[in-house]
Structure 1
Amino acid sequence: MSSQSEKADLLKKLHHSGKMLVLPNIWDAAGAILLEKLGYPAVATASAAIAAAHGYDDGEQIPFDLLVAIVAQIAKSVNVPVTVDMESGYAADNETLKSNIRRLIAAGVAGINIEDTDVLTREMLPVGEQVEKLKLIGRVAERENTRLYINARTDVFLVMPDLPEDQKLALAIERGRAYTEAGAHGIYPIFATEEETVKTLVNALKVPVNILAKGDAPDLNVLQKLGVARVSFGPNVHRAMLLSMEALLKNVKESLSHRPVTGLLT
Protein backbone atom coordinates (compact mmCIF):
# COMPACT_ATOMS: atom_id res chain seq x y z
CA MET A 1 0.00 0.00 0.00
CA SER A 2 1.27 3.45 -0.90
CA SER A 3 1.05 6.30 1.57
CA GLN A 4 -1.65 8.92 1.31
CA SER A 5 0.89 11.46 -0.03
CA GLU A 6 2.22 9.01 -2.61
CA LYS A 7 -1.33 8.43 -3.83
CA ALA A 8 -1.90 12.20 -4.01
CA ASP A 9 1.28 12.51 -6.07
CA LEU A 10 0.10 9.73 -8.36
CA LEU A 11 -3.30 11.38 -8.75
CA LYS A 12 -1.60 14.62 -9.77
CA LYS A 13 0.64 12.75 -12.20
CA LEU A 14 -2.41 11.10 -13.80
CA HIS A 15 -3.78 14.57 -14.59
CA HIS A 16 -0.56 15.44 -16.46
CA SER A 17 0.08 12.16 -18.27
CA GLY A 18 -1.25 13.28 -21.65
CA LYS A 19 -3.93 10.59 -21.42
CA MET A 20 -7.34 11.77 -20.26
CA LEU A 21 -8.23 10.49 -16.79
CA VAL A 22 -11.70 8.94 -17.00
CA LEU A 23 -13.46 8.65 -13.63
CA PRO A 24 -16.88 6.95 -13.54
CA ASN A 25 -17.89 8.17 -10.07
CA ILE A 26 -18.89 5.54 -7.51
CA TRP A 27 -20.56 5.53 -4.10
CA ASP A 28 -19.29 2.48 -2.22
CA ALA A 29 -16.40 0.07 -1.80
CA ALA A 30 -17.90 -2.47 -4.22
CA GLY A 31 -17.84 0.09 -7.02
CA ALA A 32 -14.29 1.12 -6.15
CA ILE A 33 -13.10 -2.49 -6.19
CA LEU A 34 -14.77 -3.02 -9.57
CA LEU A 35 -13.09 0.04 -11.08
CA GLU A 36 -9.69 -1.10 -9.85
CA LYS A 37 -10.34 -4.60 -11.20
CA LEU A 38 -11.17 -3.11 -14.61
CA GLY A 39 -7.90 -1.18 -14.65
CA TYR A 40 -9.05 2.33 -13.81
CA PRO A 41 -6.04 4.12 -12.26
CA ALA A 42 -8.05 6.14 -9.72
CA VAL A 43 -11.44 6.22 -8.02
CA ALA A 44 -13.75 9.21 -7.59
CA THR A 45 -16.93 9.48 -5.55
CA ALA A 46 -20.11 11.41 -6.40
CA SER A 47 -21.80 13.28 -3.56
CA ALA A 48 -25.29 12.84 -5.05
CA ALA A 49 -24.76 9.11 -5.52
CA ILE A 50 -23.46 8.55 -1.98
CA ALA A 51 -26.33 10.58 -0.55
CA ALA A 52 -28.99 8.76 -2.58
CA ALA A 53 -27.52 5.34 -1.79
CA HIS A 54 -27.95 6.08 1.91
CA GLY A 55 -31.38 7.72 1.80
CA TYR A 56 -30.38 11.39 1.75
CA ASP A 57 -30.84 14.25 -0.68
CA ASP A 58 -27.77 15.83 -2.24
CA GLY A 59 -26.62 19.21 -0.94
CA GLU A 60 -24.69 18.17 2.18
CA GLN A 61 -27.74 16.45 3.70
CA ILE A 62 -25.82 13.28 4.54
CA PRO A 63 -24.08 13.56 7.95
CA PHE A 64 -20.39 14.22 7.51
CA ASP A 65 -19.54 11.47 10.01
CA LEU A 66 -21.31 8.96 7.76
CA LEU A 67 -19.63 10.36 4.65
CA VAL A 68 -16.18 9.98 6.24
CA ALA A 69 -16.95 6.39 7.27
CA ILE A 70 -18.02 5.53 3.71
CA VAL A 71 -14.99 7.24 2.21
CA ALA A 72 -12.61 5.51 4.63
CA GLN A 73 -14.01 2.12 3.64
CA ILE A 74 -13.66 2.97 -0.04
CA ALA A 75 -10.05 4.12 0.40
CA LYS A 76 -9.22 1.00 2.42
CA SER A 77 -10.68 -1.30 -0.22
CA VAL A 78 -8.41 -0.27 -3.11
CA ASN A 79 -4.76 0.49 -3.80
CA VAL A 80 -5.42 3.27 -6.32
CA PRO A 81 -5.88 6.94 -5.32
CA VAL A 82 -9.34 8.00 -4.16
CA THR A 83 -10.68 11.52 -4.72
CA VAL A 84 -13.80 12.63 -2.88
CA ASP A 85 -16.58 15.03 -3.78
CA MET A 86 -17.04 17.11 -0.63
CA GLU A 87 -19.49 19.59 -2.17
CA SER A 88 -18.90 23.02 -0.53
CA GLY A 89 -16.98 21.55 2.39
CA TYR A 90 -19.74 20.56 4.85
CA ALA A 91 -18.68 23.52 6.97
CA ALA A 92 -20.23 26.81 8.07
CA ASP A 93 -16.91 28.17 9.34
CA ASN A 94 -13.18 27.78 8.80
CA GLU A 95 -12.53 25.69 11.91
CA THR A 96 -15.05 23.09 10.78
CA LEU A 97 -13.59 23.08 7.28
CA LYS A 98 -10.10 22.53 8.71
CA SER A 99 -11.38 19.61 10.78
CA ASN A 100 -13.17 18.10 7.80
CA ILE A 101 -10.06 18.24 5.62
CA ARG A 102 -7.98 16.63 8.37
CA ARG A 103 -10.54 13.84 8.73
CA LEU A 104 -10.57 13.13 5.00
CA ILE A 105 -6.78 13.03 4.90
CA ALA A 106 -6.81 10.61 7.85
CA ALA A 107 -9.34 8.48 5.95
CA GLY A 108 -6.78 8.05 3.16
CA VAL A 109 -8.19 10.47 0.61
CA ALA A 110 -5.74 11.58 -2.10
CA GLY A 111 -7.86 14.35 -3.61
CA ILE A 112 -11.02 16.38 -3.23
CA ASN A 113 -13.57 18.27 -5.30
CA ILE A 114 -14.81 21.46 -3.70
CA GLU A 115 -17.42 23.70 -5.33
CA ASP A 116 -18.08 27.42 -5.21
CA THR A 117 -21.85 27.37 -4.59
CA ASP A 118 -23.37 28.20 -1.21
CA VAL A 119 -25.16 25.03 -0.13
CA LEU A 120 -27.94 27.02 1.58
CA THR A 121 -28.69 29.76 -0.94
CA ARG A 122 -27.62 27.82 -4.08
CA GLU A 123 -25.90 31.00 -5.22
CA MET A 124 -22.25 31.26 -6.10
CA LEU A 125 -19.87 32.31 -3.36
CA PRO A 126 -17.85 35.50 -3.87
CA VAL A 127 -14.55 34.73 -5.59
CA GLY A 128 -12.54 36.08 -2.63
CA GLU A 129 -14.36 33.85 -0.17
CA GLN A 130 -13.71 30.72 -2.25
CA VAL A 131 -10.07 31.72 -2.72
CA GLU A 132 -9.63 31.88 1.05
CA LYS A 133 -11.20 28.42 1.43
CA LEU A 134 -8.79 26.97 -1.11
CA LYS A 135 -5.80 28.57 0.60
CA LEU A 136 -6.99 27.21 3.94
CA ILE A 137 -7.26 23.68 2.52
CA GLY A 138 -3.72 23.92 1.21
CA ARG A 139 -2.43 25.10 4.58
CA VAL A 140 -4.18 22.24 6.38
CA ALA A 141 -2.57 19.65 4.10
CA GLU A 142 0.82 21.29 4.58
CA ARG A 143 0.44 21.28 8.38
CA GLU A 144 -0.57 17.63 8.23
CA ASN A 145 2.72 17.06 6.40
CA THR A 146 0.92 15.52 3.47
CA ARG A 147 -0.30 16.30 -0.02
CA LEU A 148 -3.81 16.57 -1.41
CA TYR A 149 -4.96 17.06 -5.00
CA ILE A 150 -7.47 19.95 -5.03
CA ASN A 151 -9.94 19.97 -7.91
CA ALA A 152 -11.74 23.31 -7.69
CA ARG A 153 -15.23 23.20 -9.16
CA THR A 154 -16.79 26.36 -10.51
CA ASP A 155 -20.54 26.35 -11.00
CA VAL A 156 -20.89 29.24 -13.45
CA PHE A 157 -22.42 27.06 -16.18
CA LEU A 158 -24.65 25.26 -13.67
CA VAL A 159 -25.94 28.19 -11.61
CA MET A 160 -26.13 30.81 -14.37
CA PRO A 161 -27.63 28.91 -17.34
CA ASP A 162 -29.37 31.97 -18.80
CA LEU A 163 -26.21 34.04 -19.21
CA PRO A 164 -24.82 34.25 -22.76
CA GLU A 165 -22.15 31.63 -23.37
CA ASP A 166 -19.35 34.18 -23.74
CA GLN A 167 -20.19 35.72 -20.36
CA LYS A 168 -20.26 32.34 -18.64
CA LEU A 169 -16.95 31.50 -20.26
CA ALA A 170 -15.34 34.76 -19.09
CA LEU A 171 -16.57 34.22 -15.52
CA ALA A 172 -15.37 30.61 -15.48
CA ILE A 173 -11.91 31.64 -16.68
CA GLU A 174 -11.75 34.44 -14.10
CA ARG A 175 -12.68 32.09 -11.28
CA GLY A 176 -10.49 29.27 -12.58
CA ARG A 177 -7.43 31.52 -12.67
CA ALA A 178 -8.14 32.86 -9.18
CA TYR A 179 -8.55 29.34 -7.80
CA THR A 180 -5.33 28.21 -9.44
CA GLU A 181 -3.50 31.14 -7.87
CA ALA A 182 -4.97 30.07 -4.52
CA GLY A 183 -3.48 26.58 -4.83
CA ALA A 184 -5.99 24.50 -6.78
CA HIS A 185 -4.33 21.86 -8.94
CA GLY A 186 -7.20 21.52 -11.42
CA ILE A 187 -10.40 23.30 -12.41
CA TYR A 188 -13.81 21.69 -12.89
CA PRO A 189 -16.20 23.95 -14.85
CA ILE A 190 -19.18 21.65 -14.38
CA PHE A 191 -21.87 21.78 -17.12
CA ALA A 192 -19.51 23.34 -19.65
CA THR A 193 -20.56 21.39 -22.74
CA GLU A 194 -20.00 23.38 -25.93
CA GLU A 195 -16.92 22.17 -27.79
CA GLU A 196 -15.52 25.65 -28.45
CA THR A 197 -16.10 26.59 -24.79
CA VAL A 198 -14.21 23.53 -23.57
CA LYS A 199 -11.35 24.23 -25.97
CA THR A 200 -11.08 27.83 -24.77
CA LEU A 201 -11.15 26.78 -21.11
CA VAL A 202 -8.34 24.27 -21.65
CA ASN A 203 -6.19 26.83 -23.45
CA ALA A 204 -6.90 29.69 -21.03
CA LEU A 205 -6.52 27.94 -17.68
CA LYS A 206 -3.18 26.15 -18.25
CA VAL A 207 -3.99 23.59 -15.52
CA PRO A 208 -5.85 20.26 -15.80
CA VAL A 209 -9.49 20.84 -16.76
CA ASN A 210 -12.20 18.41 -15.63
CA ILE A 211 -15.36 18.07 -17.76
CA LEU A 212 -18.61 16.33 -16.82
CA ALA A 213 -19.64 13.62 -19.28
CA LYS A 214 -23.28 14.38 -19.93
CA GLY A 215 -25.62 13.92 -22.88
CA ASP A 216 -24.92 17.23 -24.59
CA ALA A 217 -21.14 17.22 -23.98
CA PRO A 218 -18.67 16.17 -26.69
CA ASP A 219 -17.83 12.47 -26.73
CA LEU A 220 -14.82 11.29 -24.76
CA ASN A 221 -12.56 10.94 -27.81
CA VAL A 222 -13.33 14.56 -28.73
CA LEU A 223 -12.63 15.77 -25.19
CA GLN A 224 -9.30 13.94 -25.31
CA LYS A 225 -8.37 15.77 -28.53
CA LEU A 226 -9.38 19.10 -26.97
CA GLY A 227 -6.82 18.55 -24.21
CA VAL A 228 -9.23 17.80 -21.37
CA ALA A 229 -7.29 16.16 -18.54
CA ARG A 230 -10.14 14.54 -16.62
CA VAL A 231 -13.71 13.43 -17.25
CA SER A 232 -16.22 12.79 -14.47
CA PHE A 233 -19.62 11.11 -14.63
CA GLY A 234 -21.17 12.60 -11.49
CA PRO A 235 -24.22 10.64 -10.29
CA ASN A 236 -24.93 9.21 -13.76
CA VAL A 237 -23.41 5.77 -13.09
CA HIS A 238 -25.58 5.42 -9.99
CA ARG A 239 -28.67 6.46 -11.97
CA ALA A 240 -27.84 3.98 -14.73
CA MET A 241 -27.39 1.22 -12.16
CA LEU A 242 -30.81 1.96 -10.64
CA LEU A 243 -32.46 1.93 -14.07
CA SER A 244 -30.83 -1.42 -14.83
CA MET A 245 -31.92 -2.79 -11.46
CA GLU A 246 -35.45 -1.51 -12.02
CA ALA A 247 -35.67 -3.32 -15.37
CA LEU A 248 -34.29 -6.53 -13.86
CA LEU A 249 -36.63 -6.51 -10.88
CA LYS A 250 -39.63 -5.57 -13.02
CA ASN A 251 -38.90 -8.57 -15.21
CA VAL A 252 -38.70 -10.87 -12.18
CA LYS A 253 -42.02 -9.57 -10.86
CA GLU A 254 -43.84 -9.85 -14.18
CA SER A 255 -42.40 -13.18 -15.33
CA LEU A 256 -42.46 -14.86 -11.89
CA SER A 257 -39.11 -16.41 -12.80
CA HIS A 258 -35.53 -15.52 -12.09
CA ARG A 259 -34.03 -17.87 -14.66
CA PRO A 260 -34.11 -15.70 -17.78
CA VAL A 261 -32.59 -12.75 -15.97
CA THR A 262 -28.92 -12.48 -16.89
CA GLY A 263 -26.65 -12.06 -13.89
CA LEU A 264 -29.25 -12.80 -11.23
CA LEU A 265 -28.82 -16.56 -11.06
CA THR A 266 -25.43 -17.66 -9.71
Structure 2
Amino acid sequence: MFNSRPIQMNSQSEKADLLKKLHHSGKMLVLPNIWDAAGAVLLENLGYPAVATASAAIARAHGYEDGERIPFDFLLGIVAQIVKAVSVPVTVDIEAGYAADNELLKSNIRRLIAAGVAGINIEDSDVRTRELLPVDEQVEKLKVIGRVAERENTRLFINARTDVFLLNPELPEDQKLALAIERGRAYVEAGADGIYPIFATEEGTLKMLVNALKVPINVIAKTNAPDLDILQRLGVARVSFGPNVHRATLLSMEALLKDVKDNLSHKPVTDLLM
Protein backbone atom coordinates (compact mmCIF):
# COMPACT_ATOMS: atom_id res chain seq x y z
CA MET A 1 0.00 0.00 0.00
CA PHE A 2 2.92 2.33 0.62
CA ASN A 3 6.46 2.58 -0.64
CA SER A 4 8.67 0.34 1.50
CA ARG A 5 12.04 1.76 0.41
CA PRO A 6 12.70 5.40 1.33
CA ILE A 7 14.43 7.49 -1.32
CA GLN A 8 17.55 9.31 -0.14
CA MET A 9 17.22 13.08 -0.43
CA ASN A 10 19.48 15.82 0.84
CA SER A 11 18.17 19.37 0.50
CA GLN A 12 15.01 20.72 2.06
CA SER A 13 13.60 21.50 -1.40
CA GLU A 14 14.31 17.99 -2.66
CA LYS A 15 12.52 16.56 0.33
CA ALA A 16 9.54 18.89 -0.18
CA ASP A 17 9.36 17.84 -3.83
CA LEU A 18 9.48 14.18 -2.82
CA LEU A 19 6.77 14.71 -0.21
CA LYS A 20 4.53 16.19 -2.90
CA LYS A 21 5.25 13.27 -5.26
CA LEU A 22 4.36 10.81 -2.52
CA HIS A 23 0.92 12.43 -2.27
CA HIS A 24 0.38 11.97 -6.03
CA SER A 25 1.94 8.51 -6.47
CA GLY A 26 -1.34 6.59 -6.53
CA LYS A 27 -0.23 4.77 -3.36
CA MET A 28 -1.74 6.10 -0.17
CA LEU A 29 0.81 7.79 2.07
CA VAL A 30 0.52 6.32 5.57
CA LEU A 31 1.98 8.49 8.34
CA PRO A 32 1.91 7.13 11.92
CA ASN A 33 2.73 10.46 13.62
CA ILE A 34 5.68 10.44 16.01
CA TRP A 35 7.02 12.78 18.70
CA ASP A 36 10.79 12.32 18.83
CA ALA A 37 13.87 11.37 16.84
CA ALA A 38 13.79 7.74 18.00
CA GLY A 39 10.31 7.31 16.58
CA ALA A 40 11.37 8.93 13.32
CA VAL A 41 14.32 6.56 12.96
CA LEU A 42 12.04 3.61 13.71
CA LEU A 43 9.65 4.61 10.93
CA GLU A 44 12.46 5.14 8.44
CA ASN A 45 13.95 1.74 9.30
CA LEU A 46 10.55 0.13 8.78
CA GLY A 47 10.41 1.60 5.28
CA TYR A 48 8.01 4.50 5.71
CA PRO A 49 8.89 7.05 3.01
CA ALA A 50 8.15 10.13 5.14
CA VAL A 51 7.78 11.12 8.79
CA ALA A 52 5.05 13.26 10.36
CA THR A 53 4.83 14.73 13.83
CA ALA A 54 1.73 15.20 16.00
CA SER A 55 1.45 18.40 18.01
CA ALA A 56 -0.43 16.78 20.89
CA ALA A 57 2.03 13.89 21.09
CA ILE A 58 5.09 16.16 21.18
CA ALA A 59 3.47 18.44 23.74
CA ARG A 60 2.32 15.68 26.09
CA ALA A 61 5.58 13.75 25.79
CA HIS A 62 7.34 16.83 27.15
CA GLY A 63 4.92 17.84 29.90
CA TYR A 64 2.64 20.23 28.04
CA GLU A 65 -0.96 20.10 26.89
CA ASP A 66 -1.92 20.54 23.24
CA GLY A 67 -3.08 23.90 21.96
CA GLU A 68 0.24 25.71 21.34
CA ARG A 69 1.17 25.53 25.02
CA ILE A 70 4.60 24.12 24.28
CA PRO A 71 6.99 27.03 23.51
CA PHE A 72 7.73 27.29 19.80
CA ASP A 73 11.49 27.42 20.40
CA PHE A 74 11.28 24.15 22.32
CA LEU A 75 9.13 22.58 19.60
CA LEU A 76 11.57 23.74 16.93
CA GLY A 77 14.46 22.10 18.77
CA ILE A 78 12.63 18.77 18.82
CA VAL A 79 11.73 19.13 15.15
CA ALA A 80 15.35 19.90 14.22
CA GLN A 81 16.47 16.72 16.02
CA ILE A 82 13.90 14.69 14.10
CA VAL A 83 14.95 16.15 10.74
CA LYS A 84 18.63 15.45 11.44
CA ALA A 85 17.91 11.87 12.50
CA VAL A 86 16.39 10.73 9.19
CA SER A 87 16.94 11.16 5.47
CA VAL A 88 13.25 11.04 4.49
CA PRO A 89 10.97 14.13 4.34
CA VAL A 90 9.56 15.39 7.63
CA THR A 91 6.21 17.17 7.83
CA VAL A 92 5.35 19.01 11.04
CA ASP A 93 2.05 19.75 12.74
CA ILE A 94 2.25 23.46 13.62
CA GLU A 95 -1.34 23.75 14.89
CA ALA A 96 -2.45 27.30 13.93
CA GLY A 97 1.10 28.55 13.41
CA TYR A 98 2.19 29.46 16.96
CA ALA A 99 1.77 33.08 15.95
CA ALA A 100 -0.49 35.90 17.12
CA ASP A 101 -0.01 37.73 13.82
CA ASN A 102 1.30 37.10 10.32
CA GLU A 103 4.68 38.72 11.00
CA LEU A 104 5.43 36.12 13.64
CA LEU A 105 4.02 33.44 11.35
CA LYS A 106 6.53 34.49 8.67
CA SER A 107 9.37 34.14 11.17
CA ASN A 108 8.18 30.72 12.32
CA ILE A 109 7.90 29.42 8.76
CA ARG A 110 11.38 30.69 7.90
CA ARG A 111 12.79 28.91 10.95
CA LEU A 112 11.01 25.65 10.07
CA ILE A 113 12.38 25.81 6.53
CA ALA A 114 15.88 26.49 7.90
CA ALA A 115 15.51 23.39 10.10
CA GLY A 116 14.87 21.31 6.97
CA VAL A 117 11.13 20.74 7.34
CA ALA A 118 9.54 19.57 4.06
CA GLY A 119 5.87 20.11 4.91
CA ILE A 120 3.47 21.45 7.49
CA ASN A 121 -0.06 20.98 8.75
CA ILE A 122 -1.83 24.20 9.64
CA GLU A 123 -5.37 24.29 11.04
CA ASP A 124 -8.16 26.84 10.51
CA SER A 125 -9.41 27.22 14.07
CA ASP A 126 -8.33 29.43 16.95
CA VAL A 127 -6.47 27.31 19.52
CA ARG A 128 -7.83 29.48 22.35
CA THR A 129 -11.50 29.90 21.43
CA ARG A 130 -11.84 26.58 19.54
CA GLU A 131 -13.83 28.38 16.85
CA LEU A 132 -13.25 28.36 13.12
CA LEU A 133 -11.30 31.33 11.82
CA PRO A 134 -12.92 33.44 9.10
CA VAL A 135 -12.10 31.96 5.69
CA ASP A 136 -10.40 35.14 4.45
CA GLU A 137 -8.15 35.20 7.51
CA GLN A 138 -7.01 31.62 6.95
CA VAL A 139 -6.57 32.26 3.24
CA GLU A 140 -4.22 35.14 4.03
CA LYS A 141 -2.20 32.92 6.38
CA LEU A 142 -1.77 30.33 3.63
CA LYS A 143 -0.68 33.02 1.18
CA VAL A 144 1.83 34.33 3.72
CA ILE A 145 3.32 30.85 4.11
CA GLY A 146 3.58 30.46 0.34
CA ARG A 147 5.28 33.84 -0.04
CA VAL A 148 7.82 32.99 2.66
CA ALA A 149 8.75 29.74 0.92
CA GLU A 150 9.05 31.58 -2.39
CA ARG A 151 11.31 34.25 -0.88
CA GLU A 152 13.44 31.55 0.70
CA ASN A 153 13.75 30.06 -2.80
CA THR A 154 12.41 26.73 -1.65
CA ARG A 155 9.29 24.58 -1.53
CA LEU A 156 7.06 23.55 1.36
CA PHE A 157 4.16 21.11 1.20
CA ILE A 158 1.18 22.85 2.84
CA ASN A 159 -1.45 20.50 4.23
CA ALA A 160 -4.36 22.78 5.12
CA ARG A 161 -6.48 21.34 7.90
CA THR A 162 -10.10 22.33 8.25
CA ASP A 163 -11.80 21.73 11.59
CA VAL A 164 -15.37 21.82 10.26
CA PHE A 165 -16.07 18.19 11.23
CA LEU A 166 -14.15 18.41 14.49
CA LEU A 167 -15.87 21.52 15.86
CA ASN A 168 -19.39 21.07 14.49
CA PRO A 169 -20.45 17.51 15.36
CA GLU A 170 -24.09 18.62 15.73
CA LEU A 171 -24.41 19.81 12.12
CA PRO A 172 -25.98 17.48 9.54
CA GLU A 173 -23.37 15.68 7.45
CA ASP A 174 -24.34 17.48 4.23
CA GLN A 175 -23.81 20.88 5.86
CA LYS A 176 -20.41 19.90 7.21
CA LEU A 177 -19.48 18.60 3.78
CA ALA A 178 -20.55 21.82 2.07
CA LEU A 179 -18.57 23.93 4.54
CA ALA A 180 -15.50 21.73 4.16
CA ILE A 181 -15.64 21.95 0.37
CA GLU A 182 -16.08 25.73 0.49
CA ARG A 183 -13.11 26.14 2.79
CA GLY A 184 -11.03 23.53 0.97
CA ARG A 185 -11.48 25.24 -2.40
CA ALA A 186 -10.50 28.59 -0.91
CA TYR A 187 -7.39 27.06 0.68
CA VAL A 188 -6.34 25.35 -2.55
CA GLU A 189 -6.73 28.63 -4.42
CA ALA A 190 -4.54 30.26 -1.74
CA GLY A 191 -1.76 27.73 -2.35
CA ALA A 192 -2.52 24.69 -0.20
CA ASP A 193 -1.13 21.43 -1.62
CA GLY A 194 -3.54 19.18 0.26
CA ILE A 195 -6.64 19.38 2.46
CA TYR A 196 -7.07 17.69 5.82
CA PRO A 197 -10.75 17.56 6.84
CA ILE A 198 -9.99 16.14 10.26
CA PHE A 199 -12.70 13.87 11.75
CA ALA A 200 -14.42 13.36 8.39
CA THR A 201 -14.99 9.59 8.39
CA GLU A 202 -18.11 8.69 6.38
CA GLU A 203 -17.23 6.95 3.13
CA GLY A 204 -19.67 8.99 1.04
CA THR A 205 -18.36 12.24 2.50
CA LEU A 206 -14.74 11.30 1.86
CA LYS A 207 -15.47 10.30 -1.73
CA MET A 208 -17.21 13.62 -2.37
CA LEU A 209 -14.32 15.55 -0.83
CA VAL A 210 -11.85 13.70 -3.05
CA ASN A 211 -13.93 14.43 -6.15
CA ALA A 212 -14.74 18.04 -5.29
CA LEU A 213 -11.32 19.31 -4.22
CA LYS A 214 -9.04 17.58 -6.77
CA VAL A 215 -6.04 17.71 -4.41
CA PRO A 216 -4.67 15.11 -1.98
CA ILE A 217 -7.08 14.48 0.90
CA ASN A 218 -5.74 13.53 4.34
CA VAL A 219 -7.84 11.39 6.70
CA ILE A 220 -7.10 10.69 10.35
CA ALA A 221 -7.02 7.06 11.47
CA LYS A 222 -9.50 6.77 14.32
CA THR A 223 -11.86 4.16 15.71
CA ASN A 224 -14.83 4.89 13.44
CA ALA A 225 -12.82 5.64 10.29
CA PRO A 226 -12.76 3.18 7.36
CA ASP A 227 -9.70 0.93 7.33
CA LEU A 228 -6.73 1.68 5.09
CA ASP A 229 -7.74 -0.56 2.19
CA ILE A 230 -11.13 1.17 1.96
CA LEU A 231 -9.59 4.63 2.18
CA GLN A 232 -7.24 3.68 -0.65
CA ARG A 233 -10.22 2.69 -2.82
CA LEU A 234 -11.97 5.97 -2.00
CA GLY A 235 -9.03 7.88 -3.44
CA VAL A 236 -7.67 9.21 -0.14
CA ALA A 237 -4.03 10.22 -0.64
CA ARG A 238 -2.81 10.39 2.94
CA VAL A 239 -3.67 8.83 6.28
CA SER A 240 -2.20 10.16 9.50
CA PHE A 241 -2.72 9.01 13.07
CA GLY A 242 -2.56 12.29 14.99
CA PRO A 243 -1.81 11.60 18.68
CA ASN A 244 -3.19 8.06 18.50
CA VAL A 245 0.15 6.26 18.17
CA HIS A 246 1.39 8.08 21.26
CA ARG A 247 -1.78 7.15 23.16
CA ALA A 248 -1.57 3.52 22.05
CA THR A 249 2.11 3.40 23.05
CA LEU A 250 1.33 4.67 26.55
CA LEU A 251 -1.50 2.15 26.93
CA SER A 252 0.83 -0.67 25.89
CA MET A 253 3.48 0.58 28.31
CA GLU A 254 0.91 0.78 31.08
CA ALA A 255 -0.11 -2.85 30.57
CA LEU A 256 3.53 -3.97 30.38
CA LEU A 257 4.60 -2.19 33.56
CA LYS A 258 1.47 -3.26 35.43
CA ASP A 259 2.49 -6.84 34.62
CA VAL A 260 5.96 -6.16 36.06
CA LYS A 261 4.46 -4.72 39.25
CA ASP A 262 1.74 -7.33 39.74
CA ASN A 263 3.94 -10.35 39.07
CA LEU A 264 7.19 -9.05 40.54
CA SER A 265 9.05 -10.04 37.40
CA HIS A 266 11.25 -8.24 34.89
CA LYS A 267 10.40 -10.78 32.20
CA PRO A 268 7.53 -8.84 30.58
CA VAL A 269 10.20 -6.34 29.57
CA THR A 270 13.34 -8.41 29.22
CA ASP A 271 11.67 -11.21 27.25
CA LEU A 272 10.95 -8.67 24.52
CA LEU A 273 14.70 -8.04 24.18
CA MET A 274 15.61 -11.63 23.47
Q: What TM-score do you get using the length of structure 2 for normalisation? A: 0.96
The alignment status of 1:47 with 2:55, answered yes or no, reads yes
Counterpart of 1:173 in 2: which secondary structure? helix
The alignment status of 1:133 with 2:141, answered yes or no, reads yes
**In structure 2, C-alpha distance between the alignment counterparts of 1:95 and 1:214, rounded to whole Å:** 35
Aligned length: 266
Partner of 2:247: 239
**In structure 1, C-alpha distance between the alignment counterparts of 2:271 and 2:235, rounded to whole Å:** 38
Partner of 1:91: 99
Quickly say closer, same or farther: Cα 1:263–1:201, change in 2 above 3 A.
farther
Q: Is the contact between residue 259 and residue 265 of structure 1 (CA under 8 Å) also seen in structure 2?
A: no
Residues 204-255 of structure 1, C-alpha deviation per residue, up to 9 Å, x if partnerless?
0000000011111111000000000000000000000000110111111111
Partner of 1:8: 16
Partner of 2:205: 197
The alignment status of 1:214 with 2:222, answered yes or no, reads yes
Counterpart of 2:267 in 1: which secondary structure? coil
The correspondence of residues 132-151 of structure 1 with structure 2, limited to 5 A, is: 132-151=140-159
**In structure 2, C-alpha distance between the alignment counterparts of 1:134 and 1:160, rounded to whole Å:** 23
Identical residues among aligned pairs (%): 83
**In structure 2, C-alpha distance between the alignment counterparts of 1:145 and 1:263, rounded to whole Å:** 51
Q: Is the contact between residue 207 and residue 235 of structure 2 (CA under 8 Å) also seen in structure 1?
A: yes
Counterpart code for 2:57: A
Gaps of at least 5 residues in structure 1 are: none
Q: Is the contact between residue 210 and residue 232 of structure 1 (CA under 8 Å) also seen in structure 2?
A: yes
The correspondence of residues 45-124 of structure 1 with structure 2, limited to 5 A, is: 45-124=53-132
Partner of 1:154: 162
**In structure 1, C-alpha distance between the alignment counterparts of 2:185 and 2:63, rounded to whole Å:** 37
Counterpart of 1:83 in 2: which secondary structure? strand
Q: Is the contact between residue 72 and residue 107 of structure 1 (CA under 8 Å) also seen in structure 2?
A: yes
Q: Is the contact between residue 258 and residue 264 of structure 1 (CA under 8 Å) also seen in structure 2?
A: no
**In structure 2, C-alpha distance between the alignment counterparts of 1:263 and 1:240, rounded to whole Å:** 20
RMSD of aligned Cα (Å) = 0.9
Counterpart code for 1:75: V
Q: Is the contact between residue 256 and residue 268 of structure 2 (CA under 8 Å) also seen in structure 1?
A: no
Counterpart of 2:196 in 1: which secondary structure? strand
Report the CA distance between 1:264 and its aligned residue: 5.2
